[in-house]
Amino acid sequence: MKHRYLPATEQDKKEMLAAIGVSSTDELFADIPDSVRYKQDYQIKQAKSETELTKELTKLAAKNRDAGTYASFLGAGVYDHYQPVIVDHVISRSEFYTAYTPYQPEISQGELQAIFEFQTMICELTGMDISNSSMYDGGTALAEAAMLASGHTKKKKIVVSASVHPESREVLKTYAKGQYIEVVEVPAVNGVTDLDALNEAVCDETAAVVVQYPNFFGRIEPLKEIEPIAHKGNSMFIVSSNPLALGLLTPPGAFFADIVVGDAQPFGIPAAYGGPHCGFFAVTKKLMRKMPGRLVGQTEDENGKNGVKEIARQNIQKANYAKQQAKRAGLSVVFDGPIFNEFVVKLEDTVKAVNKRLLDKGIIGGYDLGLSYPELTHHMLIAVTELRTKEEIDALIAELGDRHE
């Protein structure tokens, strides 16, 4: 057999063709006119042996500049966080290999336990009553939340802050178009939602207000001030959150959020070329039966401790250290105020050019905000997680500061 991963032998093929009454594979396509059939060789490389192919792919992979060998300050929704070695061991155990859909609890107890632990953790972090067993990713979770709000309130207008992740806003608009829902964006001032513009945008036809906490610029949105505006006219309050930040920040549930969504990628899920990762979706009890996804019922559990609070604290401390060092180096730090693990600096050169120079120094630079916000050309969003050392932060700032001077 030429291809060991294809189970059908030549004899198998003959028997299958005979069973359906045809003499060859070509005969299966006899209804397709000969004039439209592609008869040339495909413009692809000739097949190689497994050993040769492995060597070629290894050489290609070695060209990548990844967070394993470079100090990464790139965030913007996907972050380089600590992944305990034991995680791969635990998820590789056979009791977690059961089907994704656990219809038979007596067979899938390991998976059910994992899902229940996930739901419990999300509820504790968000301050909400109920969480589902996960979503495709954070962006689709946000869009699903908006659709739930529209269906629940029977209103067709969603107000979203411009400080929400640009990709999440695009997903929201895609969902909304098919449901004939109007999406209204309100601007950000000094890196946070413009409350005056938000108040003006919310009306009796508004189904929900959507904000992000911490937001795309790393700023902490004032949920206490946003909440009464969001609930004006019986609209709903949707908060997209970084779950790691909720290890220290006051949870959205404490500010009477109706729905809290986000992406669990910061909890050690590999960047994986940008996702998808693992979205979460939490609601108040009154919305339980309208929430998408599946639930695993509660059973008795024991309270335990994890490192979420300590990791979150390190993200805040290290990001603020980097921010202060940037100021001392003469860099222009914009959107001054409370941050989580990201902040914004304005550069004299293009972000693309600066990032190219940083790569030559073994550093993966920040996100070019000009790609999503035309008014923020030459602005870089810098992410500092618990994995970044003082030496790496100092090296980044030194390089940016030297170029600035």
* 120-129 pLDDT per residue, tens: 999 999 999 9
Q: What angle do CA 171, 175, 181 make, to 5 degrees?
A: 120
How far is the C-alpha of 348 from the C-alpha of 191, rounded, in Å?
20
**Mean pLDDT value across the chain:** 90
Q: What is the pLDDT of residue 279?
A: 95
Q: Above pLDDT 90, what percent of the chain?
A: 70
Beta strands (DSSP E) in 170-297 are 182-186, 188-189, 192-193, 206-213, 236-241, 259-263, 279-283
Instruction: With cut-offs at 50, 70 and 90, classify the pLDDT of residue 301.
Output: very low
**Domains along the sequence of the chain with CATH:** 105-290 (3.40.640.10), 307-404 (3.90.1150.10)
Q: What is the pLDDT of residue 221?
A: 97
For 128, the token pair is 């909400």
Q: What angle do CA 197, 198, 201 make, to 5 degrees?
A: 85
CA-based nearest residue to 242, from 182, 311, 305: 311
How far is the C-alpha of 99 from the C-alpha of 113, rounded, in Å?
13
Expressed in angstroms, the distance from the first to the final Cα of the chain is: 66
pTM equals 0.82
pLDDT tens digits, 13-60? 899 999 999 999 889 888 999 899 888 888 898 888 999 999 999 999
How far is the C-alpha of 137 from the C-alpha of 64, rounded, in Å?
25
Q: What is the DSSP letter of 231?
A: T
Residue 354 belongs to what H/E stretch? helix 351-360
CB-based burial label for 150 (10 Å; 0-12, 13-18, 19+): buried
The CA-based diameter of the chain, rounded to the nearest angstrom, is 80
Half-sphere exposure of 151 (CA within 13 A, CB side): 14
For 204, the token pair is 């009796």
- Tell me the H-state helices in 127-272: 138-153, 166-178, 195-201, 223-230
